Chains A and B, each alone.
Chain A
């Protein structure tokens, strides 16, 4: 459990805290001239990179799980429950 909290804190320091700082840093200063097209499309590209990366990891993991633990895989071993026939 301590390790989990440790990992959580490291992640918080690395990602969550900078993200919050990024948001707060915008402040309430008057707006500057900006190109909406560039700003919005670059946000879209950044978020799409994350979306596709997560999508690839998740779908890859599902495919691997299905292949690895299918019944016909010679490497697949029955769980203790299946082995004993008791639940």
Chain B
């Protein structure tokens, strides 16, 4: 494996190529686990998923089973879900509320602050055994921004807010949908595998170049449902203007003038006439609270926000939190939730969820075609020795702004990936 051959970035020569081995080589994935997933801030969950002391969710984050919870003092915590005795997963429920979690192997019991509370037959342990030494372990770092909770397995990582860099501004736009700044995760998890390398989904989720070809049938659906779409302007491929923007540390986003409708707050016929007054009321609330300019930013633009390495907040036909983990070089697990303002009316919530399904998810009108294209790419990668390079140069020669169909933001993803992969770490 030769690191110098992964990414060729020669701006003067207008050359940018990524070696396809990065998408198929098991050694690359092993290195990614240590040099990317173990040093970057990784999304765990949203604070709304654990509201009251004792509330918990279990999930697997970068191969580590974790308990994501509120402790007795209502602080959001993350515990590694492994018994300090023999290693069994302690909490086997997917979620709920509990004052304590008991490992069923020998009955070690941890309270919701992670402290080891009870050890059956404790008197048989030697005198130096102290329960206080055996609390559930926590990842070295846990922090949250606007309700989004991240962990970091690197104790020396920069603070979360520094890490998020330019992505914070876009998270703020999303959270501004809520009158009180309280977004909440909505019940119903979409949890599915894609038989493709995880970086292909990273690229695909904020690459608008593929929209007209991969999602032609979705665009037809919108058009047939009475959604007005202009002919693309000169130099554009899509009905609305949109740019692609790197946001630092590999993060980036598309930032688009909306043409597809938004539950907050741009009505389209798909929502139904009866929902129209509610969408207009939401719009009016935005204008009153934020002023015309900011309200328009929230309501009339949409964005797919990438937080390196494996999180998207897609604020388009609805808002989805989408995170994904490599299971193998050619396979990933995707978790996707819907996110909405906590104070949303039942009507607005129903519109949001319905709008979600017009595009997103394994049964939507667009995501299955994305899954198909990623799996089709992966199938093509069997040729990576004979056809080793991917071309990532769209927009490179342009003086003018970089569109969402250009690849500046994708190049920045790869530059960050390459930088981290070249940074040696202690094993």
Decide whether A and B are members of one complex: no
